[in-house]
Structures are given as C-alpha cells and as structure tokens.
Chain A
Amino acid sequence: MINRRIFLNSSGLALVAGGLLPNVFVKMAGAATTKGKKTLVAVFQRGAVDGLNVIVPYAEKAYYDARPNIAVARNDVLELDGFFGAHPSLASLMPYFKDKSLAVVHAVGSPDSTRSHFDAQDFMESGTPGVKSTEDGFLARAISNTHDQAASPLRAVALSPAMPRILSGSGSAVAMTNIAQFGVRGGAQVSAAFEAMYGKQSFEAANLLKSADPTKLQPENGAQYPPNPLGNSLKQIAQLIKSNVGLEVAFTDVGGWDTHAGEGGAQGQLANNLRNFSDAIAAFTRDLGSRMGDVVLVTMSEFGRTVRENGNRGTDHGHANVMLAIGGGVKGGKVYGRWPGLGAEHLFEGRDVAVTTDFRDVFGELLTKQLGVAALKSVFPGYEAGPSKWRGLIA
C-alpha cells in the first residue's frame, strides 16, 4: 500500500526509488516545497452533477436496474474499494486516489428537500439550508472569522465575473476572471492619480498582484491544463498560490451538469464534461506539486440526480450527491460517508439517494483544520456543527 504522499514529502526521491509511484509523480518529486499559507479551493459544479455516475456503486444491483441505458458498466468503472468505482473519465485523478491524496464523500448534500437549482445553490452558498434571507455566503463568514490584521488583500479570490453568493458580504473578497487584468487600465499616471485620491491602501490587491506578477509562472511538472474555462480558472488559482500572495480561499464554478436528456454512460455527454473536469483538477494538482501539501481542493454541487433514468435517457433533479477532496492533509484513498443504499425503502422521497452526510460537516472539518476557523457556529448559524459529525477526511 502506498501511504506516503508527495505533497507532504519534500524528499520525494525515496518514493521514486521505491518504484511505487506512477509516472506522473517523477517530475513532481523534485519540486521545491515552499511553505506558505494554507489554501482551500472550492469548485462548484453548477447544474447538479449526477454523482451516481461519477462514483458508481457498481456492487448495487439496484443501480443497474434503475438505469438500463445510462449506467456505467462494472467493467468500465475504475476500481475504488470493492463497492464503488469511478467513472472512466476520472482516469487522470486515479493516481491521487491510489496515493491517498484524493478522498470521496458519497451520499452528501443539503438536508433541504428543494429540487430547484436556484434555491439549492442559494442554500449551499449561504450555508443556511431552508433560510432564504441570509445575506452573506458561508465562505465569506469563514474568512471574517479568521480575520487577522496581517491578512492579505488577496486572501479570498473568486475566479468569476461577479462576486459569487458564497463569498458575498465579507468586504475582503475579490472577484476576477483574469488576474492579469485586475487593476486600473490606463497607465501609470492614471493609477497614480487614483491612488492620490483614494489612498494607496485602496489598491492593495491590485498592487500586490502587479508586483507578484503571478501570470509569469508557467505550469510546472509537465502539467497541461485542458483548454476549458475550469482549466483556465484553476491555472490562475495555482499561479496565485505559487506566487505566495496570501491566498486562503479560492472559489470557481463550472456548469454543464444538468443532464436531463442524453446523459450517456461510460461515454457521452456526462463523460465528456467529467473528463474536462478531472483533467483540469489533475493538472492543477500536478502543477502545484509539493505545494499541494498546503492546499485542499474540494468539489460541490447543489444536489444529486434521480436514481432512475428518465424517458429521455437522462436523469432529473434528486437529492444527495458526491464530493471530492484532494490535497495535503486529505486522508484519501477512501470513500467516506454512510452509504444509504439504493433499495426502494432506502431512497429519499422514494426516488433519490438519501443524504447521510451534511455538506456543512465536510466544510466544517475543512474550514477548521485547513483554515483554522474557530467559531463554526457563526459560519453555519443554526446548525449544530462540530467534530462529532465530521467524517475525518482531513488529518
């Protein structure tokens, strides 16, 4: 069993010599470890990804009974633990599951029963399922909670055209789609004039970006980001991390998961989207190399999809879903969460995977252990959040 991980180990030579590592790690082994701030990267799969076809419960007959046309066949899945297998499009992430830096949480989600994308995303980003009037996002509350004077103006960055709900309300998050264009356009004189009017401290993030110049950093370790929006966002997040600008929370999102028709199985629509998705995350992980020791990337989606395929060879809006976590402290190589089963009597409202892990418990653990958030009660108001409910996926 390979339980030593490249992220945490700056002397990777032993691992390579042991011949235990897949080829992708060879170059990473030489990467320097730069101790920096710890970073949490959240990737939102908007539109509700079909978690049952991402991490397939291939040992459940009910799965195949419910999906005569779009199930991923047992001999197509990538073996995980004797019960679950990963969709073949996740091939680029499998080395990280094998080296135990990638963990899966299944049957995870929001306790609210809404099947509206809008409401479910809203609840997941506000961190208050069922409560509509929460004005700020839970990651915004989390960074306010860890506030310290030395915090970087780039401590929380959304790679997004507008400030996403999840980071709204903090006053210290910034949103951008292109880190190279974050600043006043119009030359040095114009910048100086604005600084004279507003004060230099009003341009801390822009000036820090300018001096750090993260975009000069090329992907390392042979990482090749796929040419899609998620690849582009993760590449820039990696640049921010590597340039030591004090990034603590990064957020980005990716759409295209609302597979009501023609979803496909091992191949097809979802397979194509998933390949783009996992290749982007794999490139990010490879690019950061040993620096991943300070980073956890976690994926989320507003709800899962129906167990049964619909009349259009797709799936409709469901309930529980799957989350992936990859990085430094992750105790990976394992599928976490209590599996509720797909038998009719176990389904939520008779049709969907039941939620056995609240998404707030995954984030509660991540925020506490990765970012040092002390008061989870203020991050998830009204929720009894605490270690007793955590799954233990972070060391």
Chain B
Amino acid sequence: MKRFLTIPIALLLLGVSGTPKLTPRQRADHALNRLAFGARPGDVDRVMAEGVDAWINRQLHPESIADRGVDARLDQYATLKMSDAQIFSKYYAPILAARKAKKEGESDEEMRRRIPFDQRPQHVVAELNAQRIIRAADSDRQLNEVMVDFWMNHFNVFAGKGLDRVLLTSYERDTIRPRIWGNFEDLLIATAKSPAMLFYLDNARSRSGALNENYAREIMELHTLGVDGGYTQQDVTELARVFTGWTIDRPRQGGGFVFRPMLHDNAPKVVLGIRFPAGGGMNEGERMIHFLAHHPKTAHHLALQLCQRLVADDPPKALVDRVAKRFLDSGGDLRQTVKAVIDSAEFWDPKFYRAKVKSPFEYAVSALRAIGARVDDPLPLARELQKMGEPLYGAQPPTGYSDKADAWINEGAMLNRMNFALTLAANKMPGVRVDEQSAASLDIGVDMPKAASTPGLILGSPEFQRQ
C-alpha cells in the first residue's frame, strides 16, 4: 500500500544525531523548525545570540512584536480590512445580480464569466491566501502564524462551500486570530457564533422540527471531546436541539450571529446528562459550550493534537497527559497549554529533532525562507500548495488537514515537492524572486547526501522534508 513510506520515510524518520542532548545550535534550529516556518539565512545565529528561551518567550507574546514590514505589505489587499457587509455588497451581490440576469441557455460558467475577476468571491479568497502566505513567510510573529494555522485547521471551514468563500476573511481576522492566546472557551463560543461556521456546518439552517445535526456532532467529535469522547447519537440529536435558533442574520447581506427564539426547540432536553427544562433559550447552548470547553476529554483531545503538531506524529503519552493537565489546571488557557508543550523535556528530545515530516504549507514556506526568497505575488504559491495537496482554506471535510506524515507522502505529492524545489531554486517561480547568491550559499544546517549538489536538490532532498 503505502510504498512511498517503506524506505524513504523510514529514512526520513531516523533522527540525525544519536547524541543525548541537542547542541545550542540544534536547539535554535529546532525552535525555528517547530515554532516558526523554518530558518531564514542568519536566523539560527540571531536566535542563539538572543537566547533560545528569550526568543521563545517573545514568540509566546506576539502582541509585543511589531510587525510593521508585513502590515505594510498587506495594505494592498483591500478585502482584508472589509466588514462582512462590505465584502458581501462588493463580491457577493454581483453573483446574485448575474444569476437574476442570466440569459436563457447560458451556462453558469458563461454567467460567471461576465463578472470581472476582481468582483468575484474568488478574489476575496485569493487575498486571504495571499496574506496567509506572506505572514507565514515573513512575519516576525512566527509562532503566532504557526498557531493560526493550527487553530484554523482545528476549526476548519472550507472556502468552497457557498457563502463561506466570502465569510472566511472575518472568520480568520475577527474570530480566530484575536483568541488563540486566550481562553479556549472564548475561542469555542466565538466559532460557534461565527457566520462562517454556522454556514459551514449547517447550524444556520437547523431549527425546531427540522434539525440539522451536523454542527452538534462536529463540535463534540472534532472541536472538543474527540471521536472517543463518550457521547451517543442521542446526545448529538439533543445537542442539535440545544443549538436550534443559533443562526445568521440576513445571510445574503453579510449579517452576523443572531439567536432566533422562534426557531428554538423549547421542549426539555438532556445532553450528556445535563438537563434543560422546557422554555430555555440561547443560554442552553452557552452552558453546553462552557461544559464542553472544560471537559477532561477536550483537554486530552486538544493536548494530543497540539503535541502532534509541535512534537511528533505519535507523541509520548506522558507528555499528552501533562499538557492536558496544564490545560485543565489553567482553565483552558491556550498560552499556558502551548507553553507546557514547549517547556517539556520531550519537545527537546534529540529523537524528535528533524524527525517530523513537513506538511506542504510548512514545506513550501520553509523553502522560501531557507533560500531567502522575496514574495511579490503569493498566488502562484497558493496554486503550488494546491498541487501538493494542501490548498489553504481548501480542506473539504471538517476534520481539516492531517498533521501526520502518511497523509502527505505519496509519489505524486513528493514529485510536486521536488519540482517546486527545482523551480524555486532556479528563480523560475512566478511571483517570487530568489537572489542567485543567497541560493548558492544555501545551507539548511544538517549534513547533506552527496547527491544534493545544487540548491534545487537540497530543497528537494529528504533532509529538507523534515523539520
């Protein structure tokens, strides 16, 4: 079956050194690999000079890091600052108008072609892609971008589903980004009330007498308790009844969350043993979110996922338990929880150094950084991510993308990585500039096989697939 995994991955998974402890240089490199999108030329020296612990502490407080260079570059993307209502009137209304004016016999494609590209919903998603790539590649708040990627994936919303293509801008900017260093309950309730999630998992159209269980299932299975969280189908149905009435105000004009008592199921309910008498309202859902956010199963599920992202595909159980305990003890403090992972002995264990296979996004961005590339137009890169199997905002199922190597390693995907490396190193990637000199002095900080004799081969090597 997984033929690509047989030898190459065995090779990929072998740690580089057998030493009992990482050297100071390896520690800096490791921090840049796991808590950032890889090192740029000179980064390892800079982090060593600052001190790895001091650098990490700064990264854990992104609000203290000025990011003016990136902020200035993002000014060109007007939709990033627009409200949902503004985005809808500019990028969704033209579709509605075109549909109305559609001519007899005209195909949908022909109809859409009449709308200029910069007024289509795709334009909004394109700008969103652009900011994620620019921020990941060049932001000084690197750990923040790593965690944005983690939480956007945890609370995945797919841009290909109807209105979500015009709702994701506010979702990332207003729902996710401001809350990833705060309390998990705040993040959970913000996603529950976000139009993007309400639409994506259909809660917006669930109502008393016409239940849609989609969100009720996924909030337990994916967002909180985990698939083995101990809930039953009956709990799913009852929770769906709890969330009836949680919907979107004027969904085709970019309205926000609204609770509609008329749509709410007023009968008594029992969810996971919690009783709600008849006549309750929105407070039922808020109470369930509070309960789920602080549940031990949730702590374990989140701890496992964080450790998979930051440490190893199959992280040590003792580490997961410790991180889960910190989550519970801190009342769901996400900064404390991430810090528990980074502070652990396991995080710095040499057996995990350069041992985790990069996702396509991590791979592409780390290649840009390693070779000191300057990104003028991120859209060709966004298309490369699609080829490698990880289009941003493009995960269809609510599970999001996997953090495990076997999801990413197949022959076609690896060929795309190699071709990406060759194209980038040859300065032939559209929208990206690579300086010949910095390419020639490319050094990824580990011993390379003899065959890796050019910058393209170095970036395409098994060594550079690992972080």
Contact = CB atoms under 8 A, between A and B. Distances in A.
B81 interface: no
A175 B412 contact: yes
Given A116-B161, A256-B108, A269-B105, A135 B8 contact: no
Given A184-B415, A269-B106, A171 B406 contact: yes
Interface residues of A, number: 57
Contacts, number: 151
Interface string B426-461: 000000000000000000000001111110110011
A256 B109 contact: yes
Main secondary structure of the interface of A (DSSP, over half): loop
A88 B409 CA distance: 45
B397 A174 contact: no
Contacts of B7: 199, 201-202
B192 interface: no
B398 A184 contact: no
A272 B107 CA distance: 9
Contact of B160 (A118, A175, A183, A272): A118
Contacts of B460: 194
Interface in B97-116: 99, 102-109
Interface string A296-319: 000000000000000011000000
Interface in B139-171: 158, 160-162
A206 B105 contact: no
Nearest to A206: B415
B328 interface: no
A259 B412 CA distance: 34
B217 A132 contact: yes
A73 interface: no
Contact of B412 (A122, A174, A198, A312): A174
A194 B418 contact: yes
B334 to A, nearest CB: 23
B325 interface: no
Contacts of B387: 161-162
Given A171-B409, A171-B410, A193-B457, A133 B218 contact: yes
B419 A185 contact: yes
A264 B217 CA distance: 40
B399 to A, nearest CB: 6
Contacts of B449: 196-197
A204 interface: yes
Contact of A132 (B4, B214, B386): B214
Contact of B8 (A169, A198, A256, A260): A198
A199 B10 CA distance: 12
B2 to A, nearest CB: 4
A206 B6 CA distance: 17
A269 B107 contact: yes
15 contacts: A47-B108, A118-B160, A132-B217, A132-B218, A132-B398, A163-B410, A163-B413, A165-B396, A172-B3, A193-B452, A196-B449, A196-B451, A203-B411, A260-B99, A264-B105
Interface of A: 47, 116, 118-119, 122, 126, 132-135, 144, 147, 153, 161-163, 165, 169-176, 182-186, 190, 192-194, 196-199, 201-206, 256, 258-262, 264, 268-269, 272-273, 312-313
4 nearest A-B pairs in the assembled complex, by CB-CB distance: A171-B2, A196-B451, A174-B412, A193-B451
Interface of B: 1-8, 11, 99, 102-109, 158, 160-162, 202, 214, 217-218, 221-222, 227, 386-387, 389, 391, 396-399, 402, 406-407, 409-415, 418-419, 422-423, 449-454, 456-457, 460-462
